[in-house]
Amino acid sequence: MSTKGEMFAGVSVAMITPFRQGEVDYAALDRLVDWHVQQGTDCLVPVGTTGEAPTLSHDEHERVIAAVVDKAQKRIKVMAGTGSNSTREAIRLTRFAQKAGADGALVVGPYYNKPTQEGYWRHYNELAQIGIPIIIYNIPGRTASNILPETIIKLSSLPHIVGVKEATGSLDQASQIAQETDLTLLSGDDSLTLPLLSIGGRGVVSVVGNIVPGDLSQLVRSYLKGQPAEALKWHRKLFPLCKDLMSIATNPIPVKTAMKLLGRDAGEFRLPMCELDAAGESKVKQALKAYGLL
């Protein structure tokens, strides 16, 4: 099966951003890139929601993209988060990602201002003129507005709109997009990866991939190789971790806490994100123990 953004099929990991004493820890960021290369992750997604992008300055946003691209050295693909609720700002960030050498740009629907469907069309049409492959990120739970299937179908006619990170939770919406476009459909919810694959999806942009990228890769690759029973086995193993961990608090708080408990260098949070209390950390520990990681 060939889709428009097939280069992004597989497991992309929405990277955390490590902070140390209030600043981005670029040495720790480099180590994370190396670790994902060793784990066989297909693509890295810096400065998304999981990377606490809303708390980064414009300069930091660009520096993190450049640092990940430079450290990747083409050993692993990079899909840079370049979305904004300002079209002008999204254009600037996307142009920077292209200049820095990113393989693609993940562009979330404009948040808070709740565009009309015509506004969404014009926003992504402007971005599509830049020339870098663009993956639309549709997550109404964060943006307060849904990019409707009809709008995404219309956008699919633009050469550089190549995929959708689908996080509406609606299999009906995802099915319509998969059926009526050649866009590469990627799950935006770890727990829905297998259901999305079953209707034509090609992979996932994952949060729990920060801790178990290899297991997610086993799930996705099994399904794409025509081994649905094997993929279902991995889904059943991963599902409790995906649901239990991510329900404890807002992303990326649980996954950064999990990384800390596993001895991984996740660094600090930046306000308004903050550490869990003792009860919350205990729940993360229980989820990791149940999975066999502790």
**Separation of alpha carbons 289 and 294, rounded Å:** 5
Please answer whether residues 65 and 102 qualify as being in contact, where contact means their C-beta atoms are separated by less than 8 angstroms: yes
Please name the amino acid found at residue 260: K
DSSP-based three-state secondary structure for 81: strand
Q: Tokens 């993929």 belong to which residue?
A: 231
Task: State the catalytic residues.
Answer: 137, 165
Instruction: Classify the C-alpha dihedral 281-282-287-290 as positive or negative.
Output: positive
CA proximity to 161, closest of 188, 116, 125:
125
Residue labelled with tokens 């109404």: 140
> Cα-atom radius of gyration of the chain, to the nearest Å?
18
